Amino acid sequence: MNILGINIGIGASVCLIKGNEIICALQEERIIREKNYMGFPEKSLIYLCRTYPDIISSLDAIGIAGTSIYGDSKEEFLKIYKYRDHEENLITSTKFVYETFLRPHLSLFKKKLIKSNKSKSTCKFTKKILEILKEYGNYEKKIFNFNHHLCHAATVYYSLATNSADKYLIFTLDGGGDNECATISIASNGHIKKISATKDGNSIGNLYSNTTYVLGFTPHEHEYKLMGLSSYVPKKHSEIAKNIYSQYLGLDKKNGLTFQRFIRESTANISPRLRRDFKKIRFDNMAAGLQYFTEELIIEWIKNAIQHTGINKILLSGGVFMNIKLNKLISELSEVKSVNVFPSCGDESNVFGASFLLFNKLTKNKLFPFGPYTLGPLPNINLEEIKKKYSKHCTFTEVENPNYEIAKSLSEGKIIGRCSGRMEFGARALGNRSILADPSSHEIVERVNFLIKQRDFWMPFAPAIRKEDVNEYLKIPDSLKEGRISPYMMFGFDTTHKRSDMVATIHRSDKTARCEIVHKEIAPDLHEILTFFKKITGRGVVMNTSLNIHGDPIAMDGDDAIEILINSDLEEIYIENILVKKNPGYKKVIL
């Protein structure tokens, strides 16, 4: 059984399945080197065709995530759908006329425009797929589109449900897709049944992305910065902001399972209102008010659904559930028996949902055997070629036991880049495309921040801890003890008294940590590095952050890794078993 999955739009990506194994999954941003690329994953699809021609030539089906696709680029997406500040002048100068006469007609016109663009784009993208694949086969009758939120639900259910006979309550939540922004489904025995859906325009995801935009950050990229900032603000200072948000959106009082807005305009077009209503409120209080409002509203939503269905095993997917502070609170609810979140559960992961739905339909298998999330290419370096290309900048040394050498260097206080094994899919570096450091001193934060990552000062880094050592450092809720515990950095955790071993990776305000719990069967090399590091230092935790320079995607191949080395103050990088160091006296290129 050969299946190709494609996600077009936000998080453009592809996925190739052979039998019951994901052969490769890749995001377009990694190939074209444009972070958070939106559009059609052309280069990624061509990569699959060239790398796996035999599989592409014998596809049984092609699944496309979404039935209404629009926006050929990030610029087009933002222009058509969101973040339109030009309305602000009308509101300020002729508010009465605008609200009474113009807005209703503009809203109607906008809906027609979006609907028209969606239908034309969907047809256009199908033709584009067939054009790329034409030399491998005629697949016109083998292309299937699946609902956006069904893809979110399928992604998490088929991969992370631990027992197909059990009933699971699935929550999906994001800015919007296929005219929905939130759904609740019941899944059992391989079947997913939607019991509730919230229409577009009533989205808490929109509130978060528009607030991100209004505060000067990049929507669909920097929402996590607001989440991180919120912990520094006492709740009493955020109450005014939280109360304003509560006037925008809440739960439908009739059923408590859908979201309902209390304002006239769609939540997708709320930027002008935010600028007006929050004009005299501090940026950090605004971020905290939004976070606390989000937590309270979604917790109430989840409790209502559990009470309504009697099902207490829950699964989460969709961009809003990238919020690890929210996920932490959900995992601590007494009503929840078990909970899991799909790794990097934004729209990029819907490529798996479309693929799993086809897998379930064509094979009748109830679940998909999901393993490591390192699904991309190997570094694929030729030592002689990279020596010629970078000999003026670097030295290259083959190392017999790179995992031990990395652990030893970390124990000596060095900051190490690692580009080895298959690249991770999604937003989280899990050890294969990572920058690693000893987190026992807070000084390492400044070194990594200012010399390499250029990360906002209030944002903590993440620890990586072996599963065997996790109870020394973290307090694990019972709801996370079914199956593998948080191998993909999707939950926040309270830390224990041993947090002194990892001060550089805990939130300075609330002492929580967004941890990658390292399972030997999922991340064997990182597990071995941690084992060596503990033998040398007695500490079983290292800092793990993505191998990239601020604003760039995570490194994909050896060339990307070396470019990061020579354009930053990173000390050394391991590419598979090759240690790459800058030549003495070499100065980084000024970007």
Domain range for 501 is 383-582
Q: If you average pLDDT over residues 238-246, what whole number do you get?
A: 96
User: Looking at 121, 148, 175, which one is the last position of a domain?
Assistant: 148
64 within some domain: yes
Q: Judge if 122 and 237 occupy the same domain.
A: no
Helices (runs of H) and strands (runs of E) counted in the chain: 21, 25
* CB-CB contact of 474 with 494 (8 Å): yes
The mean pLDDT value for 151-170 works out to: 97
Q: ∠ at Cα 259 (256, 260), nearest 5°?
A: 110
Task: Answer whether residue 68 is part of any domain.
Answer: yes
The mean pLDDT value for 6-24 works out to 96
The distance in angstroms from the start CA to the end CA of the chain is: 47
Angle made by CA atoms 68, 71, 73, in degrees to the nearest 5: 145
Confidence at residue 121, expressed as pLDDT on a 0 to 100 scale = 54
Over range 571-583, report the average pLDDT.
Answer: 94
Please indicate, yes or no, if residue 373 is contained in any of the structural domains: no
More confident site: 558 or 90: 558
Q: Is residue 307 part of a domain?
A: yes
Asked, for residue 157, whether it belongs to a domain, the answer is: no
| Res. 99: pLDDT tops 70 | no
Lowest mean pLDDT among 94-103, 263-272, 298-307: 94-103
pLDDT at residue 2 tops 80: yes
DSSP for 427-469 reads: S---SSEEEEE-TTSTHHHHHHIIIII---TT---EEEEEGGG
Same domain, 400 and 294: no
Say yes or no: 35 and 139 in one domain: yes
pLDDT of residue 456: 75
Given a cut of 60, is residue 96 above it in pLDDT? no
Query: Is 354 inside a domain boundary?
Result: no
Does residue 259 sit within a domain? yes
40 and 175 within one domain: no
Please classify residue 170 by burial: count the beta carbons closer than 10 Å to its beta carbon, then call 0-12 exposed, 13-18 middle and 19+ buried.
buried
- CATH number for the domain spanning 321: value is 3.30.420.40
Residue 248 sits in the same domain as residue 341: yes
73 band by pLDDT with thresholds 50, 70 and 90: low
pLDDT grade for 172, boundaries at 50, 70 and 90: very high
366 in any annotated domain: no
Phi then psi dihedrals of residue 486, to 5 deg: 35, 65
Total domains in the chain come to 3
Q: Are residues 388 and 253 part of one domain?
A: no
Residues 175 and 139 in one domain: no
Residue ending a domain, choose from 148, 179, 211: 148
Among candidate residues 516, 479, 476, 517, the one with its CA nearest the CA of residue 493: 476
Residue identified by tokens 């784009």 is 121
Q: Do 292 and 432 share a domain, yes or no?
A: no
- Residues 108 and 253 occupy one common structural domain: no
Same domain, 544 and 407: yes
Residues 171 and 129 in one domain: no
Mean per-residue pLDDT for 172-195? 97
Q: pLDDT value at position 89? A: 38
Residue that is last in its domain, among 117, 148, 179:
148
DSSP helix/strand/coil, 349: helix
Dump pLDDT digits (tens) for 379-430: 988 888 888 899 889 999 999 999 999 999 999 999 999 999 999 999 999 9
Q: Are residues 331 and 392 in the same domain?
A: no
Q: What is the CATH number of the domain that holds 408?
A: 3.90.870.20
